[in-house]
């Protein structure tokens, strides 16, 4: 048996990500996402920047002209989105183990993730797992701009997260909104 190459190449700029175990969380989320979509993890590569709010605010300003922090950003290596709203994204085949298909880049910000998790009454690990799954789905061509695409993406997220033991992130808790 050969040694499994890492699926997620991670650059940790914010030390608190190390304490959370971002490598383990990202690898688990990536493998579950690709497996759920019938792709398998072999032959793919994802880059992840685990950064601060200040760093993601710079990226958000530079790429989206929104100079404020956000929880997660993603940059697919190529356009894979569905032509028709609610349709599946473009089919994808893995590369060879020594030459994996690069799906793209994701950046995730520490402070905003911590705040959101606390506000939503979730563990930080569950919230970060959701955001990484969300970012990977974007790399694979899923989106939430059009209504049909949003329903498809949300259903994929809920299913993947359920397999990871993470509760539905879209389920509202009336006790927290009262």
Which of 101, 83, 87, 84 shows the shortest CA–CA distance to 41? Answer: 101
Cβ–Cβ < 8 Å for 140, 107: no
Residue 70 burial (CB count, 10 A): 16
With vertex at residue 41, the alpha carbon angle to CA 141 and CA 11, rounded to the nearest 5 degrees, is 80
Annotated binding-site residue? 127: no
Give Cα 49 distance to the centre of its chain: 11
Q: Is 134 annotated as a binding residue?
A: yes
SS3 state of residue 134: helix
How far is it, in rounded angstroms, from Cα 164 to Cα 142?
20
| Angle of helix 22-36 versus helix 124-139 axis, rounded to 10 | 50
Tell me which residue of 11, 6, 5, 128 sits closest to 59, measured CA to CA.
11
Residues making up the annotated binding site are: 134, 138, 144
Binding-site positions for Zn(2+) read 134, 138, 144
């Amino acid at each position: 048996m050969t040694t499994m190459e890492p699926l997620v190449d991670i650059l940790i700029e914010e030390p608190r990500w190390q304490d959370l175990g971002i490598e383990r969380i990202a690898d688990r989320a990536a493998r579950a996402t690709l497996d759920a979509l019938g792709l398998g993890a072999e032959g793919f590569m994802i880059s992840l920047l685990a950064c601060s709010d200040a760093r993601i605010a710079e990226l958000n300003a530079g790429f989206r002209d929104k100079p404020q922090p956000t929880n997660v950003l993603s940059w697919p290596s190529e356009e894979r989105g569905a032509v028709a709203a609610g349709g599946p994204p473009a089919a994808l085949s893995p590369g060879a183990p020594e030459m994996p298909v690069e799906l793209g880049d994701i950046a995730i910000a520490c402070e905003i993730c911590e705040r959101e998790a606390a506000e939503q009454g979730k563990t930080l690990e569950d919230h970060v797992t959701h955001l990484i799954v969300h970012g990977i789905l974007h790399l694979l061509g899923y989106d939430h701009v059009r209504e049909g695409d949003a329903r498809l993406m949300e259903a994929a997220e809920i299913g993947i997260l359920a397999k990871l033991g993470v509760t539905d992130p879209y389920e509202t808790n009336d006790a927290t909104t009262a």
